[in-house]
Amino acid sequence: MIRRFQALGLAALVVMAGTVLAQSPPALAQTSEIGFQAYAFGSQVNVGSTVKSGRSAFVVLPCTPQVGVTRTNTVADVNASPLLTSGTVDTTAASAGTTTGVASTASATVQNASLLGGLVSVTTVRSVSTSNRNSTNGAFSTSAAGTEFTGLSVDRIPIIGMPAPNTRISLPGVGYVILNQQYPAAGPGQTELTVIGIHLVVTVATPLAPIGTSIIVADAFSGLAGPVEGLLSGLAYGTNANVAKTIIAGQSFPEYMPCLGTNGTTRTNSGAAVDIPGILTSGTVTDTANGTATATSVSGEMSSTVQNLNLVSGLVTATALKADVTAAGNPATLGDHSSFLGLEVAGFPRIGDTPPPNTKLTLAGIGTLWLHRVFKTTTSITVIMVQLVVTVSGNPLGLAVGTTVNVAYARVGIS
Domain ranges (residues) in the chain:
5-228, 232-414
Give Cα separations from 148 to 129, 177, 351 (angstroms).
12, 16, 63
> How far, rounded to the nearest angstrom, does the alpha carbon of residue 209 sit from its chain's CA centroid?
27
Compute the distance between CA of residue 344 and CA of residue 320 in angstroms, rounded to an integer: 11
Q: Are 112 and 84 in contact (CB under 8 A)?
A: no
Of 243, 413, 407, the closest CA to residue 309 belongs to: 407
Give 28-38 pLDDT, tens digit per residue: 334 457 889 99
Compute the distance between CA of residue 128 and CA of residue 357 in angstroms, rounded to an integer: 47
pLDDT at residue 329 greater than cutoff 80: yes
Q: Are 253 and 220 in contact (CB under 8 A)?
A: no
pLDDT at residue 92 greater than cutoff 60: yes
Residue type, 164: A
Of the ranges 21-30, 83-92, 202-211, 344-353, which one carries the lowest mean pLDDT score?
Answer: 21-30
Q: Are 343 and 322 in contact (CB under 8 A)?
A: no
Give 294-316 pLDDT, tens digit per residue: 888 999 999 999 999 999 999 99
Mean pLDDT in the chain? 90
pLDDT at residue 32, rounded to an integer: 55
pLDDT at residue 5, rounded to an integer: 40
Considering Cα of 138, then 142, then 145, then 147, what sign does the dihedral take?
positive
Compute the distance between CA of residue 194 and CA of residue 129 in angstroms, rounded to an integer: 6
Compute the distance between CA of residue 406 and CA of residue 271 in angstroms, rounded to an integer: 17
Compute the distance between CA of residue 225 and CA of residue 181 in angstroms, rounded to an integer: 23
pLDDT at residue 215, rounded to an integer: 97
Compute the distance between CA of residue 369 and CA of residue 363 in angstroms, rounded to an integer: 7
Q: What is the mean pLDDT of residues 49-65?
A: 87
Give 8-23 pLDDT, tens digit per residue: 333 333 332 332 223 3
Q: What is the mean pLDDT of residues 61-77?
A: 92
Q: What is the mean pLDDT of residues 222-241?
A: 91
Give 140-184 pLDDT, tens digit per residue: 999 999 999 999 999 999 999 999 999 999 999 999 999 999 999
pLDDT at residue 226, rounded to an integer: 83
pLDDT at residue 104, rounded to an integer: 96
pLDDT at residue 97, rounded to an integer: 95
Give 241-250 pLDDT, tens digit per residue: 999 888 899 9
pLDDT at residue 27 greater than cutoff 70: no
The H or E element containing residue 26 is helix 26-32
Q: Is the pTM of this model over 0.75?
A: no
Neighbouring residues of 25: CB distance < 8 A, sequence distance ≥ 6: none
Considering Cα of 45, then 48, then 52, then 56, what sign does the dihedral take?
positive
pLDDT at residue 358, rounded to an integer: 98
356: preceding bond cis by omega (within 30 degrees): no
pLDDT at residue 212 greater than cutoff 60: yes
Phi-psi region of 229 (alpha: psi -120 to 50; beta: other; left: phi over 0): alpha
